[in-house]
């Protein structure tokens, strides 16, 4: 099967009474599954998180803005984290991607069981300058979509319908999501119409398997004057670099680095998001300390 390009559509309904973000992130979910060598359940969690973060990122204003979404639910898969920007670049990680659970009685992957619901969804928005804004809500189910819907309701006072889906077989069959938000002044008629159609979106991964985004828009929002305003290409990509890892090492402190030189004559660090390995020899670590202390002297 030809892989569809990952992308997001931003649209309005009824002349702006509601806004909609709809994305197909199938290819990104497959890449995340491969990078993290994830179980089926964790692949579903990663896939949903990628879609949720893509949608939230698309809502940011300027290029340097970033959102970091972290779900810490106390489940066996550990924390799940994604970073996204308005440019459609997303990265994602989960602490224990190998964790697999039995299917739920309804035959679905037990994402909520793997993530847990004893904790919070934390959203950090950073703007390239100044203090980041941090918002938190208690988890509803750890199933991710409901948790994001609660965040939009509690933290932004915006009634929102959020549906996320990942269909996992040998490969990722489909992944993506939708967020529908009623704007202030939204008519009762539109709210009722969306309420009636919300059931359609509970089968998000089937819709994405069978239809293009445009077909979903014209099929699911028939009669509601859908107007596509923008298409944003999405990609799973990590921005880590050797320089970044050097800064992380330095932030651990000189003592810690000297200890790594003494006990293992170097170190190996892997990026949580792309699993790339960065190796440093003892000499390279020594040089790092020297450079850092030279810079300190200049200050």
Cα dihedral value 200, 203, 206, 211, nearest 10: 30
Stretch that binds Zn ion, among 134-142, 157-165, 168-176, 273-281 (CB under 5 A): 273-281
**DSSP bridge partners of 266:** 281
Q: Which residues make Cβ contacts (< 8 Å) with residue 21, sequence separation at least 6?
A: 8, 9, 10, 55, 58, 59, 178, 179
Work out whether 38 is an interface residue with Zn ion (CB under 5 A): no
Q: Which residues make Cβ contacts (< 8 Å) with residue 274, sequence separation at least 6?
A: 35, 91, 238, 240
Q: Measured from the CB atom, is 248 or 287 closer to Zn ion?
A: 248
Give the shortest CB-131-to-Zn ion separation in angstroms: 25
Work out whether 271 is an interface residue with Zn ion (CB under 5 A): yes
Neighbours of 288 (CB within 10 A): 18
Q: 21 with 178: CB under 8 angstroms?
A: yes
Give the shortest CB-11-to-Zn ion separation in angstroms: 32
Give the shortest CB-172-to-Zn ion separation in angstroms: 21
Total chain residues near Zn ion (CB under 5 A): 5
Dihedral over Cα of 108, 112, 115, 120: its sign? positive
Name residues contacting Zn ion, limited to 144-183 (CB under 5 A): none
Q: Measured from the CB atom, is 153 or 237 closer to Zn ion?
A: 237
- For residue 70, give both structure tokens: 């972290």
- Give the 3-state secondary structure of residue 15: helix
Give the shortest CB-273-to-Zn ion separation in angstroms: 5
Q: Measured from the CB atom, is 8 or 274 closer to Zn ion?
A: 274
Q: Measured from the CB atom, is 3 or 241 closer to Zn ion?
A: 241
Q: Which of 88, 273, 285, 288 binds Zn ion (CB under 5 A)?
A: 273
Alpha helices of 165-241 — where are they, by DSSP H?
A: 188-201, 204-210, 213-220
Stretch that binds Zn ion, among 75-83, 116-124, 250-258, 272-280 (CB under 5 A): 272-280
Give the shortest CB-93-to-Zn ion separation in angstroms: 9
Give the shortest CB-78-to-Zn ion separation in angstroms: 18
Give the shortest CB-65-to-Zn ion separation in angstroms: 20
Q: Measured from the CB atom, is 197 or 275 closer to Zn ion?
A: 275
Name residues contacting Zn ion, limited to 69-98 (CB under 5 A): none
Residues 242-278 as b or e (16 or more Cβ within 10 Å = b): eeebbeebbeeeeeebeebbeeeeebeeebebbeeeb
Name residues contacting Zn ion, limited to 209-268 (CB under 5 A): 238, 240
Q: Which of 274, 280, 285, 288 binds Zn ion (CB under 5 A)?
A: 274
**Rounded Cα distance, 24 and 82, in Å:** 17
Tell me how long the chain is: 299
Q: Measured from the CB atom, is 126 or 205 closer to Zn ion?
A: 126
Stretch that binds Zn ion, among 26-34, 53-61, 138-146, 271-279 (CB under 5 A): 271-279
Neighbours of 157 (CB within 10 A): 8
Residues making contact with Zn ion (CB under 5 A) = 238, 240, 271, 273-274
């Amino acid at each position: 099967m030809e892989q569809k390009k990952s992308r997001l559509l931003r649209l309005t309904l009824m002349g702006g009474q509601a806004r909609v973000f709809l994305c197909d992130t199938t290819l990104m979910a497959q890449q995340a599954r491969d990078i993290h060598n994830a179980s089926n359940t964790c692949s579903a969690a990663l896939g949903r998180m990628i879609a949720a973060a893509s949608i939230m990122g698309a809502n940011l204003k300027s290029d340097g803005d970033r959102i970091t979404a972290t779900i810490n639910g106390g489940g066996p898969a550990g924390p799940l984290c994604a970073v996204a920007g308005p440019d459609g670049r997303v990265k994602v990680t989960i602490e224990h991607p190998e964790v697999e659970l039995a299917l739920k009685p309804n035959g679905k992957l037990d994402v909520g069981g793997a993530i847990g619901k004893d904790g919070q969804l934390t959203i950090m928005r950073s703007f390239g300058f100044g203090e980041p804004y941090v918002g938190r809500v208690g988890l509803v189910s750890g199933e991710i979509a409901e948790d994001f819907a609660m965040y939009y309701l509690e933290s932004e006072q915006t009634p929102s319908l959020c549906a996320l889906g990942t269909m996992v077989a040998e490969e990722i069959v489909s992944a993506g999501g939708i967020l529908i938000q009623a704007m202030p002044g939204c008519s009762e008629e539109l709210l009722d119409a969306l309420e009636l159609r919300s059931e359609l979106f509970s089968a998000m991964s089937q819709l994405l398997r069978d239809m293009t985004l445009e077909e979903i828009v014209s099929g699911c929002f028939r009669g509601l004057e859908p107007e596509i305003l923008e298409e944003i290409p999405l990609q799973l990509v990590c921005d880590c670099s050797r320089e970044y890892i050097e800064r992380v090492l330095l932030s651990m402190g000189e003592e810690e680095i000297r200890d790594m030189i003494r006990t293992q004559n170097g170190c190996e660090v892997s990026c949580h998001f792309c699993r790339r390995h960065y190796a440093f020899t003892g000499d390279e670590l020594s040089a790092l300390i020297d450079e850092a202390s030279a810079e300190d002297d200049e200050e």
